[in-house]
A and B are shown apart, each in its own frame.
Chain A
Amino acid sequence: MNALYDAIRTLFVDAAYEGTINFMFSYEFVVNGFLCALIVGPLLGAMGTMVVIKRMAFFSQAVGNAALTGVAIGVILGESYTAPYVSMFSFCILFGLLLNFTRNRTKMSSDTLIGVFLSISLAVGATALLFVSAKVNTHILDTVMFGSILTVNNLDINVLLVTALITAAVALPLYNQMLLASLNPNLAHVRGVNVHFLEYVFVLLITILTVACVKIVGAVLVEALLLIPAAAARNLNTSIRGFVVWSVIFSTFSCVFGVYAPMAYDLPIPSGGAIVLTAAVIFFATLLIRMVMPRFREAAF
């Protein structure tokens, strides 16, 4: 895959030097950033629709915060502080599975349980950070919290690409079943859907997706990108096709523009923040459209 990435980067760098495209693409890290944006955008946009339908936005927020704890544990265990993927994935998957297991067993409401798990995870993370600060400069954790799309390397792109492929391969064939199970679990069960199993599958998908996107958008902001484009698409659509398509478009545009704008206009904004702010502007624009244009009002009722 590295050869493929090199070829793509060379293509862009040459085009930038020839003046065909903006000169910012003469830097390889910029090309890396755009590659990640083009993978992350559609992925989060599509999965975001399911997150909104299943009302799981708070869950992805909790997983994002658990990633911080995963990083701290990884550094303590001797993993590279720039890419502690083993610890992040292990801790977050354990976190997600345990949360879902507890929810199924206790029948407690999701928001209460997620709040409890989120607090525990942050407490463990804060404790672990004390030990981490002795080993590395804790400012490196800013990257985890708010993302640093321009520091991604081939390993990060590989992790992202594999996660994207796994998510697409699993979620596409199960999309209808997940949707039906979230509308009426009993009806879905009669139709042969294994509702509990699908809950675990969905939790796992959101978990690996969140962890894979942490470096691109940041632990704090990845939930926003799962939620805002889908919420914006929901403002304007009455059908599932429009909902998914527009969510993907909004999310991809947010990612690409969020990477492009700070560099093109010399704005002192981190890429993660710019991506989410772009999505937020789109969200408020759709709200305005819905209020002003009668043909979109039906989407609100």
Chain B
Amino acid sequence: MQGPSIEFKNVNLNLGNTQILEDVSFSISPTTIHCIIGSNGGGKTSLIRCMLGQMPHSGDIKIKWGENRTIGYVPQQLEIDKTLPVSVVDFLTMATQRRPAFLGQSKQQAQKISDLLEEFGLTSKRNDKLGSLSGGERQRVVFAQAMVPTPALLVLDEPMTGLDVAGGEVILAAVRKFASDGGTVVWINHDIAQVNKVADKLTYVNKTIVLDGAPLEVLQTGVANKLFPTLSFNESSPDGDSAETTDIEVEGE
């Protein structure tokens, strides 16, 4: 699998009289984990929605696809009516097959869904109502749907919201595996320490591009120090085998 590369060139977005994005230009390399960070209301989700063709904008967003043009998408949160009679399996079925979910799944689809549920630790929840799951469990379900059919581009809009540590690790492992298999990941993420651990590249957006580059380079600049005053830098690797890597910690964590 070869994930796509994406190029944003002079992207502008106005909603009414408010300018949401101004002259945004940067690129996302194939087979990388690219994190987009920024303050609330800074235009991160709008930027992603422009990329997905959901918001009218000016400027160019070019996606260079390989053979696979599938996008997996994990929204920030799946707000649903808790009393809705839609089980975990129903949700995965309706998202991934054409046959009406109330008629059940084909054998092939049933196997795929079972595998997914196992991978994301949801086998015991398969027949539970989606609305009865905790926020973290539901987020894992939504993540699981994004993996079928196998995407080339994975777009994550703060998927860790509401996840506990164990749930977060499951998703983190899946994202890393996806990128190592050649997929491209675009990830809106607020957790700067996590960004430093997983991102190949980060872009800080606040209406326009404030920072763009590899985390270790970008986060040591003066601008980054102002944006993230709680960050500290340790000149040692977590495993202690090399002094060349810089580990970033957030005070209080």
Which A residues are within 8 Å of any B CB, using their own CB? 53, 172-173, 175-176, 179-180, 183-184, 186-187, 189-191, 233-234, 237-245, 298-301
Contacts and interface: CB of A to CB of B under 8 A. Distances in A.
Contacts of A183: 78, 80, 86, 91
16 contacts: A53-B84, A172-B100, A176-B101, A179-B94, A183-B91, A187-B95, A189-B52, A190-B73, A191-B73, A238-B85, A238-B127, A239-B90, A239-B127, A240-B102, A241-B102, A301-B132
B175 interface: no
Given A186-B54, A238-B129, A239-B127, A176 B97 contact: yes
Given A186-B49, A298-B129, A238 B87 contact: yes
Contact of B52 (A190, A243, A245): A190
B75 A186 contact: yes
Nearest to B151: A190
A238 B100 CA distance: 16
Interface string B45-82: 00001001110000000000000000101010011101
Contacts of A243: 85, 102
Contacts of A300: 83
A299 B101 contact: no
A184 B78 contact: yes
Interface in B115-151: 127-129, 131-132, 142, 145
B107 interface: no
A59 to B, nearest CB: 17
Contacts of A242: 85
A299 B89 CA distance: 16
B104 interface: yes
B101 A175 contact: yes
Given A176-B101, A190-B71, A241-B102, A299 B83 contact: yes
Contacts of A241: 90, 101-104
Q: Which 10 A-B pairs have the closest CB atoms?
A: A190-B73, A244-B102, A175-B100, A176-B94, A243-B85, A240-B90, A238-B129, A237-B85, A239-B87, A241-B102
Interface residues of B, number: 38
A235 B127 CA distance: 16
A299 B100 contact: no
B85 A180 contact: no
Most A CB contacts (10 A, CB to CB) among B52, B85, B132 go to: B85
B29 to A, nearest CB: 21
Contacts of B90: 239-241
B98 interface: yes
B95 A191 contact: yes
A187 B85 contact: no
A179 B101 contact: yes
B110 to A, nearest CB: 13
B93 interface: yes
A199 to B, nearest CB: 15
B72 to A, nearest CB: 8
Nearest to B102: A244
Given A299-B83, A301-B132, 19 more contacts: A176-B95, A176-B99, A179-B86, A180-B95, A186-B49, A186-B52, A187-B78, A189-B54, A190-B71, A190-B155, A234-B85, A238-B85, A238-B132, A239-B89, A239-B127, A240-B94, A241-B101, A241-B102, A245-B102
A190 B95 CA distance: 11
Nearest to B132: A301
A239 B80 CA distance: 15
Nearest to A243: B85
Given A175-B102, A180-B95, A184-B75, A238 B52 contact: no
A298 B132 contact: yes
Contacts of B142: 187
A172 B102 CA distance: 10
B87 A240 contact: yes
Contacts of A175: 100-102
Given A175-B102, A240-B101, A180 B75 contact: no
A116 to B, nearest CB: 23
Contacts of A180: 94-95
A298 B129 CA distance: 8
B80 to A, nearest CB: 6
B83 A173 contact: no
Contacts of B127: 238-239
A43 to B, nearest CB: 15
A186 B142 CA distance: 13
Nearest to A173: B98
Contacts of B83: 234, 299-301
Contacts of B129: 238-239, 298-299, 301
Contacts of A234: 83-85
Given A179-B94, A239-B127, A298-B132, A187 B73 contact: yes
A292 to B, nearest CB: 18
Nearest to A236: B85
